[in-house]
């Protein structure tokens, strides 16, 4: 019994590691072959810059922002990626430009629909609510534009000890009325790492 207790103590102490904070500007030193915060932020920043510098965006009137909805953003990698982290950063920067505004009344897998939009409308027929304060029918604003995308990963062995990992961030902006593509872009992130590391 004493031996078992000693063994458990050794395992616990051996598995215990010190956790510490890392400043954001220093965290690049600890990059991995997988996609991390810096990769997502970089892809979002480049995509926003590309869209805002496009001929389409330059012609937009800031006093009449276009209503944007997030469509599918497919994760075609070997990793668990929350695609909303990418789309929220993109749409946040687009909203700050004054030329776009985001709706959460509709969404696909690239974003989260706000459930309270539908729930609040259930008060319309509830006698417990002052009906003068409920939301009337026909108040939701339909989206004009749809942003969709795909994140792709390709691995290739470059030597007996190293592998190259290519990531492609593909984004497309579509006019929902005409179905025409107004803008599309591709951001590439390429990493070189050990064959022993797995980009999960």
For the packed helices 37-52 and 83-96, what is the interaxial angle rounded to 10 degrees? Answer: 40
Residue 11 has pLDDT above 60, yes or no: no
pTM of the model: 0.82
pLDDT score for 119: 95
Reference 173, options 161, 185, 162, 164; nearest CA is 185
pLDDT score for 112: 87
Reference 183, options 66, 8, 31; nearest CA is 66
For the segment 134-182, what is each residue's pLDDT rounded down to a tens digit?
A: 999 999 999 999 999 999 999 988 888 889 999 999 999 999 999 999 9
Rounded Cα gap, residues 195 and 166, in angstroms: 14
pLDDT score for 122: 94
For the segment 45-80, what is each residue's pLDDT rounded down to a tens digit?
A: 999 999 999 999 999 999 999 999 999 999 999 899
CATH architecture of 33-58+65-113+141-200: 3-Layer(aba) Sandwich (3.40)
Q: What are the backbone angles phi and psi of residue 8, rounded to the nearest 5°?
A: -60, -40
pLDDT score for 147: 97
pLDDT score for 4: 54
Q: What share of the chain is helix, strand, coil (3-state, %, to 5)?
A: 30, 30, 40
């Amino acid at each position: 019994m004493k031996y078992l207790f000693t063994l458990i103590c050794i395992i616990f102490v051996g598995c215990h590691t010190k956790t510490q904070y890392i400043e954001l500007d220093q965290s690049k030193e600890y990059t991995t072959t997988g996609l991390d915060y810096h990769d997502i932020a970089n892809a979002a920043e480049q995509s926003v810059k590309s869209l805002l510098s496009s001929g389409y965006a330059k012609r937009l009137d800031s006093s009449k922002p276009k209503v944007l909805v997030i469509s599918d953003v497919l994760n075609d990698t070997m990793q668990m990626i929350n695609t909303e982290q990418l789309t929220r950063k993109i749409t946040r920067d687009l909203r700050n430009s004054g030329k776009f505004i985001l709706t959460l009344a509709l969404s696909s897998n690239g974003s989260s629909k706000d459930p309270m939009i539908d729930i609040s409308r259930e008060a319309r027929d509830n006698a417990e609510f002052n009906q003068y304060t409920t939301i009337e029918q026909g108040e939701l604003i339909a989206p004009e534009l749809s942003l969709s995308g795909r994140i792709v990963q390709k691995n290739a062995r470059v030597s007996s000890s190293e592998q190259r990992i290519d990531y492609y961030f593909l984004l497309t902006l579509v006019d929902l009325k005409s179905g025409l593509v107004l803008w599309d872009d591709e951001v590439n992130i390429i990493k070189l790492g050990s064959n022993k590391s797995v980009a999960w």
